[in-house]
Amino acid sequence: MSKKVKAFLYNFICFAIFFSIIYFLVVRFTGLTGLWIPFTSGISASLLTPKFQAINYMGQEKIFMKWMFIKGVKEVK
């Protein structure tokens, strides 16, 4: 599996996990109804999830991650 596909899957899995958790919390603790629940969950999840990207670095394809809770960019092994 290529690094680009892995980065895409990491992005999707992290978004799905954060979306599910936030969706549950929004339903449980707010009074939002209808389409406001998935809109709120989607926007919040897209802001909070880490971002993964496959880049050619020094002749090798590597996956890097940037997240608002971690300073700088980290390499994913």
Digit-coded pLDDT (tens) for 23-56: 999 999 999 999 999 999 999 999 999 999 999 9
Question: Per residue in 1-28, is it b (16+ CB within 10 Å) or e — as a string?
Answer: eebeeebeebbeebbeebbeebbeebee
CB 57 within 8 A of CB 44: no
Cα separation, 55 vs 12, whole angstroms: 18
- On whether the pTM is more than 0.85, the answer is yes
